[in-house]
Amino acid sequence: QVVAVYGTLSDLLSVASSKLGIKATSVYNGKGGLIDDIALIRDDDVLFVCEGEPFIDPQADARSHEELTGSHTDWLTLNVGGRYFTTTRSTLVNKEPDSMLAHMFKDKDAWGNKQDHRGAFLIDRSPEYFEPILNYLRHGQLIVNDGINLLGVLEEARFFGIDSLIEHLEIAIKNSQPAEDHSPISRKEFVRFLLATPTKSELRCQGLNFSGADLSRLDLRYINFKMANLSRCNLAHANLCCANLERADLSGSVLDCANLQGVKMLCSNAEGASLKGCNFEDPSGLKANLEGANLKGVDMEGSQMTGINLRVATLKNAKLKNCNLRGATLAGTDLENCDLSGCDLQEANLRGSNVKGAIFEEMLTPLHMSQSVR
């Protein structure tokens, strides 16, 4: 208790008796010296009062009691999620002095740690993930038993602030990940994928690698192949109605007799591909869009392309013999050295297109100068 010291020694004993609930008869200083005059008391003195018994140093008595009971030894027990761990205070403090565990056990009761009926300190975390952390604090090595998820241990390490262990765990997790598989998807794998997907669900194959796969005669309507690798694929007789092939790589692929009604092939790369006898013509009026596509050297002989959008596409050295390009948009298209013999170009927009070296023999519709070709 803190009391004001004033008056006489009798006054002090009276106040101490009232405060402490005893009949104080003697006053001692911190070193056990008996005080018989209030004038001997210094401002910073801690005083001890008793009912006449000899002076006993309370601090020395407390230390002796702790030594006998082990209440403040270096050893302690933790109850982590219902599982008990016995360790030392120095283990929890010394390895990572700035961690949460170090702050929890650096000073006795510094955090007001709760204890269970056995005196173990309660920690509401996963014991499975805590064990590798405790072992790391013991010997500095990351050892995780089989079946323990490293991500769980990492989360606990972050929670307790074990910074050096976090780095070890991140490296271990990275090394445990399987190498990225960039191998192409086979027909068998893709068909299994198609069968497992509900018909009403949107199928997204963006950026996937199908290079060299045999996808012929498959129903691929409305599938999103944006930026996919379809180079050297066999897509002959496949149904790609309204499929999205924007920026896809179709170089060297075979799409002979494929259904390409309403297909989106903006800026796709189909250089050297074969598209003989393809159908781009949608009876509903939906236009196939190949704007900006690279179609160098493609073979599109006999394809139905009424109303197709080939604006600013590159068709240099392409074979377009006997194609139906009625009403097609070919504005700004590079048709250099193309074989357009037998094509139907009625109402086609050729404004600004490059037809240098193109073959127009036996065209079904004569070219008019008003179409501003160059």
pLDDT surpasses 60 at 56: yes
Mean pLDDT (whole number) for 263-269 = 96
Number of domains into which the chain is organized: 3
Residue 2 belongs to domain spanning: 1-62
Distance from the first to the final alpha carbon of the chain: 106
pLDDT surpasses 50 at 62: no
For residue 246, name the pLDDT band (cuts at 50, 70, 90).
very high
Same domain for 197 and 327?
yes
Same domain for 239 and 337?
yes
pLDDT surpasses 90 at 306: yes
Same domain for 116 and 192?
no
pLDDT surpasses 80 at 5: no
Strands 75-80 vs 121-123: parallel, antiparallel or unpaired = parallel
The 10s digit of each residue's pLDDT in 9-46 is 888 888 888 888 788 888 888 777 788 887 777 777 78
Mean pLDDT (whole number) for 172-180 = 74
270 φ/ψ angles, rounded to the nearest 5 degrees: -115, 30
**What global pTM score does this model have?**
0.52
Q: What was the pLDDT predicted at 51?
A: 80
Mean pLDDT (whole number) for 72-92 = 87
Same domain for 188 and 169?
no
Q: Any bridge partners for residue 83, and if so which?
A: 80
Same domain for 47 and 85?
no
Distance CA 262, CA 241 (A): 6
**CATH code where residue 28 lies:** 3.10.20
Q: What was the pLDDT predicted at 68?
A: 43
Same domain for 192 and 303?
yes
For residue 110, name the pLDDT band (cuts at 50, 70, 90).
low
Same domain for 239 and 324?
yes
Query: Among all chains, which residue has been given the structure tokens 């897509």?
Result: 235
For residue 59, name the pLDDT band (cuts at 50, 70, 90).
low
Pick the residue with more confidence: 71 or 150? 150
Distance CA 47, CA 365 (A): 119
Same domain for 48 and 112?
no
The 10s digit of each residue's pLDDT in 309-358 is 999 999 999 999 999 999 999 999 999 999 999 999 999 999 999 999 99
329 φ/ψ angles, rounded to the nearest 5 degrees: -95, 110
For residue 65, name the pLDDT band (cuts at 50, 70, 90).
very low
Q: Looking only at Cα atoms, what is the longest distance across the chain?
A: 134
Same domain for 94 and 241?
no
Q: What was the pLDDT predicted at 250?
A: 96
Pick the residue with more confidence: 214 or 109? 214
**Residue type at 61 in one-letter notation:** D
pLDDT surpasses 60 at 69: no
For residue 66, name the pLDDT band (cuts at 50, 70, 90).
very low
Same domain for 278 and 135?
no
